[in-house]
């Protein structure tokens, strides 16, 4: 079949995302760093025969120092946008004490992004907390919104000039469930009650921060929501599906979208809905990434069309694949973009796509082995950056603003 040319809207943003803790290195003042070095975590890794250095962020990709090289590569790959994370733990190392040095650092980082022609999305919270904040109970604390907003307000004053879009909190639903329900991320709790409390405090924190950001900067604001495509399984009722949709996608969105100027969508997986709305990663019938997650590009299209009801511009703030051999990344990107294009044809106001991730990085509990990067980080060779073949294919799309499919 002859290939079709699928054009994207004028001024579409093309780029890739990263987060602070996952690439910078030495985020030593954070709860994630403390967790990685806790006796319990280390013993657990050793019992499983793992090398600690593969599961501790350490110097990560050293992007704290090598950011300019990373942005230069993004520019070389025809990207016109980037999403970075800044670390609260660096900026406010002690409660109420803001580090000029770190604010200057992030100013330089953003200046560099701009000098490389990149529109900037800045995430203010991506899973990691300052230690002092986690000692106060983090988002379990009823003052958490106020504490977060104070930090956001300082950042708004200092980094506004080089920021085009703000993302307040990355994946509140993942943060809350992994940290307070499933016991996987610090502080490792398993409590439905605490999860609900944290979710509601995150909602309040976002709404407070969004108001400040708008007032001080006037720039567009969103959360980065991880949204799922849900498929009812067989006999399961409408009620289970409705419940899953509500818990997975709508509870937080409905309570925060009012203070958002756009919707930041992180899309990875498609889920089957089980009884009581419990979700299961769908794996059958699909190709899988290196982490065993099923690949389901149609789901992204369906999701984007569903989001039309909110009547806001949409930016895809993450979508990516762990593929160390770079065997299916090109196809992954093209298949997802095919459905993004189809959703745009159906009226979804999608204005940008940021692949996750620009470079291989520290993949939280999995350590360094899952490879999401357009650019490989060679950990055996001084963290050398090596552009993957799929990145050059994505670069063609970024340049042409169309997909040949």
Q: Which is nearer to ligand BGC, 174 or 403 (CB)?
A: 174
Give the pair of three-digit tokens for residue 25: 């290195």
User: Least Å distance between CB 135 and ligand BGC?
Assistant: 23
3-state SS assignment for residue 45:
helix
Evaluate whether 296 touches 256 at the Cβ level (below 8 Å): no
Q: Residues binding ligand BGC: what is the number (CB under 6 A)?
A: 10
356 is a contact residue toward ligand BGC (CB under 6 A): yes
User: Contacting ligand BGC (CB under 6 A), which of 57, 82, 228, 266?
Assistant: 266
User: Contacting ligand BGC (CB under 6 A), which of 107, 298, 363, 376?
Assistant: 363
User: Least Å distance between CB 404 and ligand BGC?
Assistant: 28
DSSP 318-330: E-----TT-SSHH
Q: Which is nearer to ligand BGC, 174 or 397 (CB)?
A: 174
Evaluate whether 21 touches 127 at the Cβ level (below 8 Å): yes
User: Least Å distance between CB 21 and ligand BGC?
Assistant: 9
Instruction: Identify which range of 90-98, 99-107, 167-175, 202-210 contacts ligand BGC by CB under 6 A.
Output: 167-175
DSSP letter (8 states) at residue 11: T
User: Contacting ligand BGC (CB under 6 A), which of 29, 57, 168, 170?
Assistant: 170
Give the number of residues written for the chain: 405
DSSP letter (8 states) at residue 70: H
Helix (H) or strand (E) holding 122: strand 119-125
Burial of 152 (0-12, 13-18, 19+ CB in 10 A): buried
* Backbone φ and ψ of 213, nearest 5°: -60, -40
3-state SS assignment for residue 365:
helix
- Using CB under 6 A, which residues numbered 20 to 59 contact ligand BGC? 22
Euclidean distance between CA atoms 39 and 247, whole angstroms? 34
User: Least Å distance between CB 176 and ligand BGC?
Assistant: 13
Instruction: Identify which range of 149-157, 166-174, 190-198, 336-344 contacts ligand BGC by CB under 6 A.
Output: 166-174
Euclidean distance between CA atoms 84 and 66, whole angstroms? 13
Peptide bond before 187: cis, by omega within 30 degrees of 0? yes
User: Least Å distance between CB 53 and ligand BGC?
Assistant: 19
231 is a contact residue toward ligand BGC (CB under 6 A): no
Evaluate whether 248 touches 230 at the Cβ level (below 8 Å): yes
Instruction: Identify which range of 170-178, 230-238, 269-277, 343-351 contacts ligand BGC by CB under 6 A.
Output: 170-178
User: Least Å distance between CB 347 and ligand BGC?
Assistant: 27
229 is a contact residue toward ligand BGC (CB under 6 A): no
User: Least Å distance between CB 269 and ligand BGC?
Assistant: 10
Q: Which residues bind ligand BGC (CB under 6 A)?
A: 19, 22, 170-171, 174, 226, 266, 318, 356, 363
């Amino acid at each position: 079949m002859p290939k079709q040319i699928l054009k994207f809207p004028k001024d579409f943003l093309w780029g890739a995302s990263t987060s602070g803790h996952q690439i910078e290195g030495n985020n030593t003042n954070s709860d994630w760093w403390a967790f990685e070095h806790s006796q319990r975590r280390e013993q657990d890794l050793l019992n499983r025969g793992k090398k600690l250095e593969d599961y501790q962020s350490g110097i990560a990709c050293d992007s704290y120092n090598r950011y300019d090289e990373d942005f230069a590569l993004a520019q070389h790959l025809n990207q016109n946008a980037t999403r970075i994370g800044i670390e609260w733990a660096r900026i406010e190392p002690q409660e109420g004490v803001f580090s000029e040095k770190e604010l200057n650092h992030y100013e330089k980082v953003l200046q560099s992004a701009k000098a490389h022609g990149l529109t900037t999305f800045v995430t203010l919270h991506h899973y990691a907390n300052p230690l002092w904040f986690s000692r106060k109970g983090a988002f379990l604390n009823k003052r958490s919104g106020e504490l977060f907003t104070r930090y956001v307000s300082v950042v708004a004053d200092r980094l506004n000039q080089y920021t085009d879009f703000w993302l307040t909190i990355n994946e509140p639903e993942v943060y809350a469930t992994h940290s307070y329900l499933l016991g996987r991320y610090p502080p490792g709790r398993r409590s439905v009650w605490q999860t609900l409390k944290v979710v509601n405090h995150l909602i309040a924190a976002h709404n407070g921060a969004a108001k400040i950001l708008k007032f001080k900067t006037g720039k567009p604001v969103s959360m980065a929501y991880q949204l799922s495509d849900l498929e009812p399984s067989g006999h399961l009722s409408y009620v289970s599906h409705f419940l899953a949709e509500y818990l997975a996608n709508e509870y937080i969105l409905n309570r925060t979208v009012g203070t958002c100027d756009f919707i930041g969508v992180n899309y990875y997986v498609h889920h089957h809905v089980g009884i009581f709305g419990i979700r299961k990663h769908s794996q059958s019938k699909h190709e899988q990434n290196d982490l065993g997650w099923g690949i389901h590009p149609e789901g992204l299209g369906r999701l984007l069309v569903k989001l039309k009801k909110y009547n806001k511009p949409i930016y895809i703030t993450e979508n990516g694949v762990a593929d160390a051999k770079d065997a299916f990344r090109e196809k992954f990107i093209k298949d997802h973009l095919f459905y993004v294009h189809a959703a745009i044809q159906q009226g979804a106001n999608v204005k940008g796509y940021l692949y996750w991730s620009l470079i291989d990085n520290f993949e939280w509990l999995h350590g360094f082995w899952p490879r999401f990067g357009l650019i490989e980080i060679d950990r055996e060779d001084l963290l050398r950056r090596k552009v993957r073949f799929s990145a050059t294919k994505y670069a063609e799309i970024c340049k042409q603003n169309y997909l040949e499919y």
